[in-house]
Structure 1
Amino acid sequence: MIAVAGGKGGSGKTTTTLGLARALSRRGAPVVAADADWDLPNLHRLAAETPAVAEAASSVGGRGHVSRRNGERSHRTDDAAARTVLDAVREGDAVRPDRSAPTVLAAPDAPRSVDALATFEALDGATPDGAPVLLDCPAGASPDVAAPLRASDGALIATPLRRAALRDAAKTAALAERLGCPPLGAVVIGETDVPERVAALLNCPVLGRVPDGGAAPLADEAVRKAYGDLARRLGETAAATGWQVA
C-alpha cells in the first residue's frame, strides 16, 4: 500500500493518485485508489469528472447518481468502483479490481465515526496480493495523515517546485519516515526541470516530473506520459515487489 502525501492543499496529491492509478492500470495492473482525505474528499469526484473512469463505468452498465458530501455535489456510479473505503472492508468480500480501469473508493459518509487506521489496515487485507493500492492522503503533517501513513508500506511525496511547498513537503516526508512509512520518491508537479537539491531536501529520489497540464491535467497527453514514466519507476522500487504489472 502506497500513501500519496504532500504539503499543503493543492500540492497535486489527488491528481497524482488518479494519474498514477490509471498509468498502472494501462500497464495491466489491478489497481485500487482510495480516498484517505476524509475531511476534504475529492478523489472520486475527480475520477467521475474525467473521461477514463466515466467510460469504464458506462462499459459495465453503471448508472450515475448525484450524492452530496460536505455540502458539495459529487457524481458517483452504482458499480463496485463507487463504493466507499468503509463499504469495501465491511462487505466481507475481497475487493476485486478490474485490470481495465482503477477501482476508486470514496471516503465514508460519516468519517468521524470510523476508525481510520483499522479501516486502512483492513483494506490492505481485502485487496488481492499483487494489486497496487494507493491512498490519497490529507495534506501536510496534520494528525489525520498519521493513519494512512502508518498503514502504508511507503510514501510518494507530491509537491510543486515552490519554496514554501517544498518546505512543507520535507516536513511530511520526515513525518512519514518517523511513522514507519519511508518515502519511496517524490513527484514534482507542474515542472519538468527539477534541481538535484530537491532530492536531497526530501531525502528521497525524484521519481516523477509532471508538466503543467492546465485546468484538466489528466486529459493532457504529456501529463499522461509523465505518470506512465512514474508508474514504471515506482514499479522498480522495493515497495512494488510482487505487483502484477506488465
Structure 2
Amino acid sequence: MIAVAGGKGGSGKTTTTVGLARALSRRGAPVVVADADWDLPNLVELADETGEPVATPDASPARGAPVSDDRPTVTRVARGERPVPVDRRVPVVLDAPDRPSEHDAATVLADLDDVVPEDTPLLLDCPAGASPDVAAPLRAADRCVLVTPLHRPALRDAAKTAAVARRLDCPLLGIVVTRAESVPDAVSDLFGCPVLGRVPPKSPVPLADASVETAYDAAAAALVETYGGGERWRIA
C-alpha cells in the first residue's frame, strides 16, 4: 500500500494519485486507489471528470450518471460488503465512506490492505498537509510518495509531511514534482529520496494533456523500479 501525500491543498496530490493509477493501469496492472481524505473527498469526482468513468465491480457508469448508493466505498470493500473490484482496463477508485465519523480510519485502511491482493497496486489519496488526519493512511501504508510544487512555502509544507511519514515508519519512495519546467538536484537532497517524476504546468485540466500523461507514465515507471513493482505487482 502506497500513500500519496503532500503539503497543503493545491499541491497536485489528488491529480497525481489519479495520474499514477492510470499510468500503472496502462502498463496492465489491476490498480485499486482509495480516497483516504474523508473530510474533503474528491478522488472519485476528479477521476470521473478527467477521463474514464470510475470502474465498479459490476460495470462502469456513464459519465454524469447519478452515483449509486451501492458504490464501492473504502469501508464497504474493506469490510467485505463488496467484492474487491479489480479491473485491468482502468483503475478502480474507492470512495470515502458516507459517514466517516462512524468509522476508525486506521482499522478500515488496515482491513483494506488485507483484502486487496498483494500483487495489486493499492494507492491512498491522503489528506493534505501534516494534520492529524494524515496519520492513519501513513500508518497503514508501507511506503509514501510525496507530491509538491517547487515554490518555497510548498516545499516547507512538504518537508513537514515527509517528517511525519518517517516518524510513522512510512519511508519515502520518492517525490513527484508538479507544475514544474525543471527540477534542481537540490530537491532530491532536501527530501533524501529520488525524484520520481516532473509534471509540466498545464491547466485547467492537466490530466487531459498528453504531456502530463507522458510525465505520469515516466513517474510510474520510476515508481515500479524503485519499489520493485515488477516482482511485487501484476504488471504486463
Tell whether 2:233 aligns with 1:243.
yes
Whether contact under 8 Å (2:79, 2:108) holds in the other structure is no
- Aligned 1:72-221 pairs, distance under 5 A: 76=67, 82-92=71-81, 94-221=83-210
Distance 1:222 1:86 in 2: 35
Distance 1:239 1:140 in 2: 27
Cα offset for 1:83? Answer: 1.2
Offset from partner CA, 1:34-59 (integer Å, 9 cap, x none): 000000100001011123226x67x9
Cα offset for 1:87? Answer: 1.1
Cα offset for 1:77? Answer: 5.7
Offset from partner CA, 1:91-144 (integer Å, 9 cap, x none): 355413100000000101111111100100111111112100000000111000
Cα 1:96/1:118, change in 2 over 3 Å: same
Cα-Cα RMSD: 1.9
Tell whether 2:211 aligns with 1:222.
yes
Unaligned runs of 5+ in 2: none
Cα offset for 1:11? Answer: 0.7
Offset from partner CA, 1:152-186 (integer Å, 9 cap, x none): 01000000111000011011011101101001000
Alignment-derived partner of residue 5 in structure 1: 5
Cα 1:120/1:61, change in 2 over 3 Å: closer
Whether contact under 8 Å (1:34, 1:133) holds in the other structure is yes
Cα offset for 1:192? Answer: 3.3
Alignment-derived partner of residue 30 in structure 1: 30
Offset from partner CA, 1:1-55 (integer Å, 9 cap, x none): 000000000111100000100000000000001000000100001011123226x
Mean CA deviation greater in 45-54 or 132-141 = 45-54
Tell whether 2:220 aligns with 1:231.
yes
Alignment-derived partner of residue 62 in structure 1: 61
Which amino acid counterpart does residue 84 of structure 2 have in structure 1? V
Alignment-derived partner of residue 40 in structure 2: 40
Mean CA deviation greater in 235-244 or 105-114 = 235-244
Whether contact under 8 Å (1:2, 1:134) holds in the other structure is yes
Runs of 4 or more off by more than 6 Å in structure 1? Answer: none
Would you say how many aligned residue pairs link Structure 1 and Structure 2?
Answer: 233
Distance 1:94 1:242 in 2: 22
Whether contact under 8 Å (1:2, 1:153) holds in the other structure is yes
Distance 1:21 1:118 in 2: 23
Larger strand proportion of the pair: 1
Q: Secondary structure at the match of 1:99?
A: coil
Unaligned runs of 5+ in 1: 67-75
